[in-house]
Structure 1
Amino acid sequence: MNKVPLTVKGAEKLRAELEELKSVVRPRIVASIATARAHGDLKENAEYHAAKEQQSFAEGRISEIEGKLSNAQIIDITKVDANGKVVFGATVEIEDIESERKVTYQIVGEDEANIKEGRISIGSPIARALIGKEVEDVVTVKAPGGNVDYEIISIEYI
């Protein structure tokens, strides 16, 4: 399986979720199953079935996170020599040339992307257009509504 890029913060967030699932959620579900079993007949016991469903979801998420972390290539952007170019993990301020609207995005892994928080996936059209470019370069992004030209205003590696 290919290595999946992940920022240091993204890896920390996944590890924290994994720890929460293993140390808090899993024991709570086991206790719920034990309580439901004590109520008797399991065939018609809605509490038992709900707890088993929660357990299945939690165990699936634990496996998913462990898999992601084992295949992750954790990139610390503060230690990357980018030579002024846009790279994975960089925070880039761009300006739409036509509307003069400025936006700032950090380029992150698929699992970390959240447009509301200004984090876009490395696989997104904007990120793909920005990778390898420098300040003052103009990039054209193919958007559903047509091509959009952006100028790179600044690049930060934080």
Structure 2
Amino acid sequence: MDEPFSALDPISRQKLQQDIVKLQKKIKKTIVFVTHDMQEALALGDRICVMKDGEVVQCDTPTNIISNPKNDFVENFFKSGNAYNTCVLKGEYKVKDLIDIELYNHYKYKTQNNNISIDDESSFEDLLKLLKDEELILVRHKGEIIGTIDSNNVVKFISMQLEKGGDV
């Protein structure tokens, strides 16, 4: 497969990547997949072969290539594709997933201008990025503040996902 997803929008691309992983597990056949997208290679590959000028530079598992690049070329190649900035969570969680299971603090106070807020449709990763610097994040649903989320809520959510055997 020579760059089969390169001309697709991000949503279609991600869905097809997930489908190809499921298909490969089902048919249990080797698929040679050519891509210049390091994120895609890491997401899809059991083994990755890095080439330069028609020569194999390193062929290894995604984990070994990231943690033990053979040389500067391999390391810089993956750095250039933001391969070291992969998703924290495998699941596509959103802030609303915490709201749905009541893992937030109901908001009782008037909003202040300096509070940081996030929409409930935002990604879980965006929430984590905000909590890195803030103790408490206001949560909006359709523009209205409905409550707050703090790091304790996030830890409980992750623990629940692990207990259920979910992807984290």
Confirm or deny a common fold (TM above 0.5).
no
Q: What TM-score do you get using the length of structure 2 for normalisation?
A: 0.27
Rg: which structure is higher? 1
More strand, by proportion: 1
